[in-house]
Amino acid sequence: MRRWIAWFLLALLPVLAHAAQVQASLDRSQVQLGETVTLNLRVEGGGLAQAPDLSALASDFDVLGRSSNTSVSIVNGQRNMQFTIGIALRPKHAGQLTIPSLDFAGGRTQPLTLTVTPPDPRAAANSGKAVFLETSAQPTTVRVGQQLLFTVRLYFAGSLSSGSLEDPRLPGIDARRLGDDLDYDVVRGGRAYHVIERRYALIPQHAGTIDIPPLQFQGELIDPTDPDSFFAMGTPATAASPAVSIDVQPVPAQWGSSAWLPARALSLTLEGIPADGKARVGQPLDLAMTLQATGLPYEALPALSLPDLKGATVYPDKPVTGTRNDGQWLIGRRQQNFAIVPSQAGALTLPAITLKWWNVQSGQAEEARIAAQTLTVLPAAGGTAAPAASEPAPASSAPAPVAVATPATAGSGSTPAWRVLVLIAVALLLLGGALAVAWIWRRRVRSGAGASGTATPSHRALRLAFLAAARGGDVAAQSHALLAWARAERPGLTGLGALAEALASAAQREAIEALQRRRFAADAGGPAPDLASAFRQGFQWREPPSGEEPPLPPLYPFKLR
């Protein structure tokens, strides 16, 4: 068995090395001194990997801890595995700090830059509180229609058993959440706080002064030094953020009738022009015009079009639009495809296209431009004259839209047999590897069962581990911790389903069902189960029938599907 596993790993390594892609990212690009930042190292298409050597960070950062996560997704029948290592870093000094390239999973990451600013002077006023809110706006002076970044930070010492934080809602302002909440730790005035950071894109629609009123937080704090406080109601806690004023200036008077586009960056491109500058009568050209702006949603971008062309007919396709964000700024995008069918030989000129926009960083008007281009249109294939079908239609009738198909390359309609065989072989190797790892892990678990009591977590330690997991939002960690605690009392349990069947409490069975649904259901939703309340008094086991002993654990505790 060992020889087979070794052969399998050696055969799998070239595949994983070829498919793996590594990347590094920071959860934030700017922090204050005393705050932590998470460096995420990801490898896609490969397996598990060891954390890299972090000695190069010692001069600028303290390494506080590490965590790892593995996710597998199947999209359109394609399986993708992603392994992530999260490294918590605390900067040692302010300034522009660089995280150099790191060797990770057989690849090398790109260097990253982190801006570390001195502590906020307002921090001293809040450092003694158990919970408080801070807000900031960037910038505080904007133009109408310009996006500003509004950040809300909730600081709390200890743990929260519950809480609600309202969103900013103001008339005349388009407010949008930017990504997921960020979680990190800071030290203020010698006291440790956990921080939940939430970001919004605010776009004012009218000029004037806008006062963002204080946001309210209500929740319950748990004292981590009190072992019984987790089962109590907790201490009510409230906080209010300071008000923020925004100065909204109108559109410049000299702007004119052009569309108002206040953006941090804007690009206008046209792709699909033949590299040799040649076209042919009757054969369509597929051009794609793309407009992208940072700091604007796609709804604020104008529709894209091409003017009438002499000697060709333009057929616009359905536009493709969307808005994404990079965690700070909205990025709107419009793409319009055009099929241009030349109708006569000679020169075909695509005129220059310009778009005026306002650069909010420089405070000046700028112009995005697509330069004019001239193509040489050759006669239709097989003749020197244009085909009869390309003759202009009578003026009283408009040209009917046509379906333009691009020529397919040979063999594009089928997948080569060798590629199918390679994909099947890789899938079988991955499946075999998973079975081998599971077999090794089970052998180690069985061999470790007979070790001394000091190597096995105590019942109390498992209970505390579950309580710690119940405070967070990691559903997988909650499931593992609950099952580990239950197995300390009933070693024969094979999973959460068996645990639910062994419980007499309906509330505990419902909590397990909700936990399973949130973990595995594709459309999981609704509030998270209150695991702490359900298992406050421990497990409420079913009593076995008189004279009947509990069944032995099954020979194979996992199912193969």
165/240 same-domain check: yes
CA 94, 100, 103, 109 dihedral sign is positive
243/133 same-domain check: yes
Residue 537, pLDDT score? 75
Q: Cβ-count burial of 470 within 10 angstroms (0-12 exposed, 13-18 middle, 19+ buried)? A: buried
pLDDT tens track for 532-558:
778 877 899 987 655 444 444 443 333
- Tokens of residue 159, six digits: 């743990």
Average pLDDT estimate for 389-418 = 39
Tell how far CA 452 is from the center of its chain. Answer: 44
Higher-pLDDT residue of 411 and 208 is: 208
Question: What global pTM score does this model have?
Answer: 0.55
127/113 same-domain check: no
Last residue of one domain, picked from the residues 102, 117, 132: 117
pLDDT tens track for 342-397:
999 999 999 999 999 999 999 999 999 999 999 999 998 765 444 433 444 333 33
Backbone angle region of 295, left / alpha / beta, with phi > 0 → left and psi within -120 to 50 → alpha: left
Residue 123: pLDDT band with limits 50, 70, 90: low
Instruction: Classify strands 244-249 and 346-350 as parallel, antiparallel or unpaired.
Output: unpaired
Q: Are 35 and 197 in contact (CB under 8 A)?
A: no
129/108 same-domain check: no
Query: Is 509 within a domain?
Result: yes
Q: How many folded domains does the chain comprise? A: 4
Last residue of one domain, picked from the residues 348, 381, 414: 381
Query: Is 433 within a domain?
Result: no
Query: Is 21 within a domain?
Result: yes
Higher-pLDDT residue of 70 and 539 is: 539
233/278 same-domain check: no
Residue 161 is given by DSSP the state E
Instruction: Provide, for the chain, the percentages of residues in helix, strand and coil under a 3-state DSSP scheme, each rounded to the nearest 5.
Output: 20, 40, 40
Higher-pLDDT residue of 477 and 322 is: 322
141/242 same-domain check: yes
Query: Is 436 within a domain?
Result: no
Query: Is 442 within a domain?
Result: no
Residue 42, pLDDT score? 84
Average pLDDT estimate for 177-206 = 90
- Tokens of residue 559, six digits: 């199912």
Query: Is 255 within a domain?
Result: no
240/129 same-domain check: yes
- Tokens of residue 23, six digits: 């990347």
Query: Is 87 within a domain?
Result: yes
Residue 3 pLDDT exceeds 80: no
Tell how far CA 251 is from the center of its chain. Answer: 35
Residue 329, pLDDT score? 95
Residue 427, pLDDT score? 65
170: CATH: 2.60.40
How far is CA 284 from each of CA 279, 319, 345, rounded to the nearest angstrom? 8, 18, 13
Domain with 152 in it: 123-249
Residue 312, pLDDT score? 92
Amino acid at 68: S
Residue 327, pLDDT score? 87
Residue 410, pLDDT score? 36
Instruction: Classify strands 278-280 and 373-378 as parallel, antiparallel or unpaired.
Output: parallel
Last residue of one domain, picked from the residues 381, 405, 439: 381
228/177 same-domain check: yes
pLDDT tens track for 23-42:
888 877 888 887 788 888 88
DSSP string, 418-439: HHHHHHHHHHHHHHHHHHHHHH
Residue 443, pLDDT score? 55
Q: Cα(188)–Cα(33) distance, rounded to whole angstroms?
A: 10
201/303 same-domain check: no
- Tokens of residue 75, six digits: 């999209």
Q: Cα(382)–Cα(284) distance, rounded to whole angstroms?
A: 17
169/232 same-domain check: yes
What value does the mean pLDDT of the chain take?
78
DSSP string, 233-292: --EEEEEEPPPEEEEEE---TT--SS---EESEEEEEEE---TT-EEETTPPEEEEEEEE
Query: Is 25 within a domain?
Result: yes
DSSP string, 297-319: -GGGSPPP-----TTEEEEE---
